[in-house]
Amino acid sequence: MNIKQLLCALFLLYSVKGLSRHPKLLLISFDGFRYDLLEKGLVPNIYKWASMSTWFTSGVKSQYVTYTAPNHMSIATGMYEEEHGIVGNYFFDPDKKKMFDYFNSTGKEGIVNASQADFWFKGDPIWLTNERWETTRRSASFYWPNGESSFPYLPHTPKIARPWTVVGDLKSWMKDADDVIDAFTRETESVNFVAWYVAEPDHTLHGNGFHNKEIEKTLKHLDDLFLYFIKKFDDNNLGTDVNIILTADHGHAEIKDHKHVMCVKNFVNGAGFEMGDHMIYPHSEEIGKQIYTNLTEAVKKHGYEVNIHWKEDIPERWHYKNSSRIGKIVFEPQVGSAISFSCTNEQMEKQYGENGTAKFNSSTHGQDPDRPEMRAFLIMRGPAFSENYTIADIPSNVDLYNLMCHVLGITPTENNGTMEIVKRALKENRYLPMTHGFVFNQITDSWSFSLILIPSMCIVIAFLPTAVKIPF
Ligand SMILES: *[C@@H]1O[C@H](CO)[C@@H](O)[C@H](O)[C@H]1NC(C)=O
Ligand SMILES: *[C@@H]1O[C@H](CO)[C@@H](O)[C@H](O)[C@H]1NC(C)=O
Ligand SMILES: *[C@@H]1O[C@H](CO)[C@@H](O)[C@H](O)[C@H]1NC(C)=O
Ligand SMILES: *[C@@H]1O[C@H](CO)[C@@H](O)[C@H](O)[C@H]1NC(C)=O
Ligand SMILES: *[C@@H]1O[C@H](CO)[C@@H](O)[C@H](O)[C@H]1NC(C)=O
Ligand SMILES: *[C@@H]1O[C@H](CO)[C@@H](O)[C@H](O)[C@H]1NC(C)=O
Ligand SMILES: *[C@@H]1O[C@H](CO)[C@@H](O)[C@H](O)[C@H]1NC(C)=O
Ligand SMILES: *[C@@H]1O[C@H](CO)[C@@H](O)[C@H](O)[C@H]1NC(C)=O
Ligand SMILES: [Zn+2]
């Protein structure tokens, strides 16, 4: 060994000295990253990394309602939304008579802070399960929705908790990447679990849809971020120590045109009810019947592709019923459609109609999680997981909590997930006998898929965000 190699070896020893001695895991969410956006042409670096990892090529199923705050909570706790209590991005609690609105969608003074009160939270998120196991374990949340919130049981919050505030850009995300690596490698008090949230590509998709090229730019930025991050991760020799799970909260579906947005204000007005981001809480049965009639007649008259459910008729498979926080009337826009509480038909027509001033281009989510468009991407890499491995079976995002606990070597709190599909990602299970038919899926060079085609000739049109309130 020459001096240079010796120095190098010493440097490596030194540079891993700060690592936590516990199993390590980094959970990343890129908001709204639909499973089929993981294409070589769109995100070559993430694609390359996914190809070397365990890749759930059909994605992961999210929970109804397919919005951001509830699905991040389902990923973190392994629970259905009715169980963990975060049943929307904004919703009403009729017992407490209080509104939850983590992302300030309703713009009411003080509502974000009010959404941090501990009675909202009923699940046990992975960052707390991890820290509770041993006092030397440390968790961090970098902008994970409700990652900074105080839960009703010890240790309440993770050691490092940065609240989400802005969408940010490549530059700020790269700074975050530095901080995530620092959290794992710092000399003292290094963490063994990090949850890291990035609010794109969701934000771009709401404002532009899939077809005007903006999404490609944003995906390129995410790909650049990922390359920057992974390079630094490898330079710090974290690859053999730290497991990574890269996923998202839900997918996205293009809205066909402005006529496919149901402006609820046109049909429901006056007082006598509260509103959540996709549901209504009438104060009386009488008002409820009126609202239901108005809505179902509007659907018939205008041909909206929106299902209006009485709470008791919500499909069982959604596990979205057993909570007083779920409104009596629940909207379910179909793929290609949306609902909005902030627009009016007149305003939409003026803006996007025949003689309108803008072109309507927008995508959204909130639809049936059994639709492929609502599925998120899911890739895992690290000492716990198989390499160069694809799995076509579709797990549910509530399964990730059990898997994360397994990787971290801790016992999960009771939850609604199963290991059945996700356990196949584990290195020790690579040669499990086949039950679902997709166990031994080596990646080949010719292997590729692309379900969405991005037209190359597109016009960039700004979508005016005042017209349709953008849900996360
Ligand atoms: C929420 O939105 C309102 C209205 O835009 C604003 O006044 C308030 O400062 C926002 N709160 C936070 C915490 O961002
Ligand atoms: C924030 O909420 C907490 C309770 O969750 C409350 O005690 C505190 O006064 C609130 N702060 C502000 C500035 O409203
Ligand atoms: C914008 O949306 C319309 C449908 O409203 C669609 O026909 C058009 O192709 C979209 N524009 C672009 C640039 O993709
Ligand atoms: C139902 O629609 C009618 C007719 O447009 C309207 O007068 C009434 O206020 C609506 N009811 C509610 C509860 O919004
Ligand atoms: C939820 O289920 C439990 C047990 O079946 C039941 O006691 C409770 O009333 C239900 N709550 C709601 C809000 O439906
Ligand atoms: C759009 O403008 C044309 C020409 O001024 C007019 O004939 C037409 O009725 C307008 N369409 C709408 C929906 O207002
Ligand atoms: C995965 O594939 C890469 C490139 O083909 C190869 O270098 C590596 O050894 C493979 N890993 C395993 C565990 O097979
Ligand atoms: C979800 O998990 C909770 C906690 O274990 C349990 O009480 C509840 O019954 C489960 N729900 C379903 C539908 O299995
Ligand atoms: Zn969104």
How much is the pLDDT for 232? 98
Asked if residue 92 has pLDDT above 80, the reply is yes
- Answer yes or no: do 180 and 245 share one domain: yes
Tens of pLDDT, residues 156-202: 999 999 999 999 999 999 999 999 999 999 999 999 999 999 999 99
Question: How many domains does the structure of the chain reveal?
Answer: 2
Q: Which ligand is nearest to the CA of 312?
A: 5
Q: Which ligand is nearest to the CA of 111?
A: 1
DSSP 258: G
Asked if residue 6 has pLDDT above 80, the reply is no
12 in any annotated domain: no
Cβ(150) to ligand 2 under 6 A?
no
- Answer yes or no: do 246 and 283 share one domain: no
Cβ-contact 105, 277 below 8 angstroms: yes
Cβ(387) to ligand 7 under 6 A?
yes
The CATH number of the domain holding residue 288 is 3.30.1360.180
Gyration radius of the chain's alpha carbons: 23
355 in any annotated domain: yes
Alpha carbons 134 and 183: distance in angstroms, whole number = 18
281 in any annotated domain: yes
Tens of pLDDT, residues 424-458: 999 999 887 655 444 333 333 222 322 222 222 22
Q: Which ligand is nearest to the CA of 113?
A: 2
- Answer yes or no: do 42 and 153 share one domain: yes
- Answer yes or no: do 145 and 281 share one domain: no
On the 0-12 / 13-18 / 19+ scale of CB atoms within 10 A, 346 is exposed
Name all residues whose Cβ lies below 6 A of ligand 8: 79-80, 83, 319, 414-416
Nearest to 128 by CA among 111, 102, 146: 146
pTM, whole model, 2 decimals? 0.89
DSSP-assigned beta bridge partners for residue 24: 242
Please give the average per-residue pLDDT across 246-263, as a whole number. 98
- Answer yes or no: do 189 and 62 share one domain: yes
442 in any annotated domain: no
Residue 389: left (phi > 0), alpha (psi -120 to 50), or beta?
beta
Q: How many CB atoms lie within 10 A of CB 426?
A: 18
Per the structure, the complete domain to which residue 175 belongs is given by 22-86+121-252+373-425
Tens of pLDDT, residues 358-413: 999 999 999 999 999 999 999 999 999 999 999 999 999 999 999 999 999 999 99
CA of 322 to the centre of ligand 8 (A): 10
Q: Whose CA is nearest to atom 4 of ligand 2?
A: 117
Tens of pLDDT, residues 395-409: 999 999 999 999 999
Name the pairing type of β-strands 273-276 and 193-198: unpaired
CA of 97 to the centre of ligand 2 (A): 16
